[in-house]
Structure 1
């Protein structure tokens, strides 16, 4: 093993460049001087990529995403906006009889792919910051005391380079997503502004090609899915924060391999920006998975599956008898998710989560069973408290879960008891605050 950590070893005495150096003193060069030289050379390039006060360079992310989307054809806002308004209005009327949750969207919007980037970036910031901040801090913590003392103010530049790496990764991922997502909730998360039902007509038009269904039918079906998501996110107050808090739990479990800096030093040529871009795309900055992370991701995966399964069942009840191609559209979207589309790949890249289609289908089967045996009031009442929600084990045995449920009044009694428990109702909303205090 090298005497010097992170890839900085003794200089080669046979190096002809060193022999020609008239200033060479003959002794071994301090490895941290090499670190300083490398980071100094990076300074000018980093200063041209935009500023960012946090662990991710969001200026760079937005710049990359917008540039990649620049060549895409837009649409006529007035025509598409009217179609979206009409589709959402019709979908809301169809949803009213099949769920106890009232309409959640007070605003409807027709977005271009660029609009999608701009309006979802604040939520991506909340999702990515905990992961990036934890990784950035872990890099510093992984440095030995000697390295931290000698690097000193240069650590800020290391953080800036990390922010640029995350920003580049995020920008490319957002551009890919923006060119294919159909609605603001297409990946099951509340990415857009609250109470806003947003569809992306340009992408929906592309999605409709080859489906052999009228474009108006596809628009209404997707509007129903968007409206159903908005009902959940608007009227289940703990849901949005629980999703974000679980991402933060994942971030708190991050462990960084101390060889990351060694790989960084060996793969990056400060004089060649292409090597930096290649390093960013190589995955060398990704953290190691830990048991704590896997547990948090399992909880997040289960909750997202429950959201998607509920939407699938509710929308199916609302539109199946009204849209001739509803069943085919439902299956098309399931296969789109199962094929490992851009949503799953992007979320796996940014957060480390992969949505498994098996759980999505299992969640839909569970909600179907609960609806058939107990009715929509009992089914929707389970969203009243996070502790009433089905678990991953329940998804594997939905019949047992359905048999344990009682009537609507039994669910109400369980919620009342849970709310009487000290801090029980704040468990989902304040878990991230508790993490900050620890």
Structure 2
């Protein structure tokens, strides 16, 4: 592990150093620094509500400290179920109960038995079994390189279709996954950069005003990058991830978190509504709220069909999750379309538990939801212990994709890779806590 980390950090630092010395990036950073100074000294900043605005929210411990615990996944899933007005079968109701109970056990019960050798004051000098910490400058370099790769492939994607998908929706269907998948590296990239900025704030290197502005700039860069390709889900992922990082980094007030969540919901409805209009899927007289209801009903209908064909032990026994690998003739969501309608030219979202059902049935739902809960529960416990900005960032990343995955499922290869790497880091922390040497 240490060898991989050393090689990666050396390469990314060298790349960052070379890029930052170029004229173009020097100019870009100077422009951002100028805008930041103007914003800090701006009269309009004084018009923004103070920290104590809507201070009633601060009185709730849940709102102040626990909004983004792993249980937010179950809350989101419940809201999604309420949004779908069509009834579901009794058997699917049993599956959902299994999923909820298993996730609760994995996220709340199991983490109580790990990482218990930590002192209450994590940074005591005599601490022997510290959770592994990483140099935030290395983390920044990695985030910088991932973001740079994402932006480079954005231009490659645009060139490959000969235009901007945001201006012409039909171009979106000509995008090649081999070019678009690297674009989404901008999401973990800006998250890692944000963790470094958060650490600078904690160490007193930059002010609260500066870190808030830089979070805003990073969010803007990420959203513009994926919005250019007219993708909706990554926009929500970026906004949600940055809100979670800022929430646990204590640079956002509770009311700002709630406002950000409302903006996210409005973005989901607005982008979905406009896309449906552009694709002539609905008429201009259709309610913007009805598009959400229709989508939820359709997705739950898909889940109901998948449950009927999966049984207790599944149908594909791992082939669906394996179809996420590059080179597979059908992706997971296309495979869903084939299973329920024999249509391989469309992608169908199967919800968070759809893949679990198809691959391993009710048994798979119980085991995989428990595992997902345990990964999130471990990450949540680590950030409570360490308050470390890097662990806040990676927890925010996987929690974001778990929340977004309530509808879409966790099926994309890069997202599965994030979960694998982060789970490996958590495992290293658990083993070190037990006194097992890590090489």
**Which bin holds the TM-score, normalised by the shorter protein?**
under 0.3
TM-score computed with the length of structure 1 as normaliser: 0.24
TM-score computed with the length of structure 2 as normaliser: 0.24
Which one has the bigger helix percentage? 2
